[in-house]
Chains A and B, each alone.
Chain A
């Protein structure tokens, strides 16, 4: 009886996973397709035309990809610089208004970006930030900050103040304690936060497009017309590159941080 139940769960799990995973397989097949007319269930011919187009100099795809990565790296760094002190305040200290701050910082996740974006657009026009790299970076901070602050707040809550206190008792100054003790201790959280913030920024379409005004073009924007026009082959290929880029960057980031700190997250209970 119990075994039947268990296998029932396994079946349910596999079904849902299949429903979620199958479209991904179709996506990969489409991006390597040359010809796949209706009503064939399988492509008539495979090819790499879409990828050839991407690396051809005329398509600008590589420049845009690199530009996009650069933009998101800048956004990530600024987000971290702002999030670390805020998360430290929220994670370690007790003070009046803490709940209010926590809620206010999460607000951008709940409030539709369309609604904030248009007002920001109006403001940025006045400040001359529209159609500029800086403007796009600034507007990306809005969806990114909640994630950065949230993850790092959890990290600081776990790390606590005691290690830093111990360092100070042993004669470390505030700065020394931060760089020698706190920073290495929050490294795993920092890594998680920067990965997620990078992805959020890299995936932005609407805000980039609104504030960048076609002047700042990201990879998200580049693949949008293909999806809009229903060009399955190109849209799938661009999507594949998009997802792989994030995947590779995630892995690289994980490797770099691990090597740098020579730790294995072992202090995370």
Chain B
């Protein structure tokens, strides 16, 4: 009898924190976004704020910009990460490199990734100096601006720097733990090295790739620091826009900030749903039954 309730008892502390801080934070945001904000006299529930932001071209530009940077950086990170993991596995001298790939994404935070990108790609950065020596440009202002630009390259580069090793680490671990006998069996049955990758290894690492993709997409879509530091003044990334609305001295702007937040959450959930749907169509094996 006691053991039946034991797991639930053990889960009480974490549930309290999650409900008390995380969920209550989201709920308050949701209520304010719906116009329930008694502190400033707003009590009427309404969808007005959502309607307004959805009709605002600035908001839509932000949404597009956030989706664009997050999607491009995540897709590229997944491709490069898988390539890196596979090439480490295939190559001989990998001591130290494994360690580097494992530790790098963990110990270097996003803010530091920003300065790394800045050092290379700013107008007076290393790349522009290099181009000067090659004779392409004569002064820093001629260097096509990569940072603070609507093309979002700076943001994408910073995310790539963080996320390629992250993906590689996950894929490398799964590939390394994968039973070699599976590949050997496939080779023995007449598959070429390439076929082994596409038909045996890739499907088996696919669940990990998808979850890594979801995590990095959700992160880069919702993160504040990188677009705040490397993004253009227009369009701002959604989290930056939400924060700026939030810090407006006029409290009546709060519901707009909260509505943007709820759109952020909604988009992430929709994105995860789509990923799962697509994944289900192509793969039956989901790795969860191991």
Contact = CB atoms under 8 A, between A and B. Distances in A.
Given A115-B264, A120-B21, A13 B107 contact: no
Nearest to B266: A115
A191 to B, nearest CB: 14
Nearest to B31: A119
Nearest to A139: B21
Contacts of B258: 118-119
A40 interface: yes
Contacts of B191: none
Interface string B225-251: 100010000000001001100100000
B130 A41 contact: yes
A123 interface: yes
A236 B115 contact: yes
Interface of B: 3-4, 6-8, 10-14, 17-18, 21-22, 24-30, 32, 80, 83-84, 86-88, 90-94, 97, 100-101, 103-104, 106-112, 114-120, 122, 124, 126, 128-130, 132-133, 140, 161, 164-165, 193, 214-215, 218-219, 221-225, 229, 239, 242-243, 246, 257-258, 261-262, 264-265, 268, 272
A115 B242 contact: yes
Given A115-B265, A116-B25, A239-B112, 7 more contacts: A9-B86, A9-B90, A24-B116, A41-B129, A86-B13, A118-B25, A118-B246
Interface in A218-266: 220, 223-224, 227-228, 230, 232, 235-236, 239, 242-243, 246-247, 250
B80 A119 contact: no
Which of B86, B92, B129, B161 is packed against the most chain A CB atoms within 10 Å? B129
| Interface residues of chain A: helix, strand, loop or mixed (majority) | helix
Given A20-B161, A111-B268, A116-B29, A232 B115 contact: yes
Contact of B215 (A82, A109, A243): A109
A199 to B, nearest CB: 6
A239 B110 CA distance: 11
Contacts of B12: 85
Given A115-B222, A119-B28, A39 B128 contact: yes
B88 to A, nearest CB: 5
A112 B132 contact: no
Shortest beta-carbon contacts, A-B, top 3? A112-B222, A119-B25, A119-B29
Interface in A61-102: 81-83, 85-86, 88-90, 93, 95, 98, 101
B81 to A, nearest CB: 9
B223 A112 contact: yes
| Interface residues of chain B: helix, strand, loop or mixed (majority) | helix
A119 B258 CA distance: 8
B222 A111 contact: yes
Contact of A108 (B13, B22, B94, B116): B22
Given A6-B90, A115-B222, A118-B257, A38 B124 contact: yes
A196 B102 CA distance: 12
A45 interface: no
A220 B106 contact: no
A196 B105 CA distance: 11
A163 interface: no
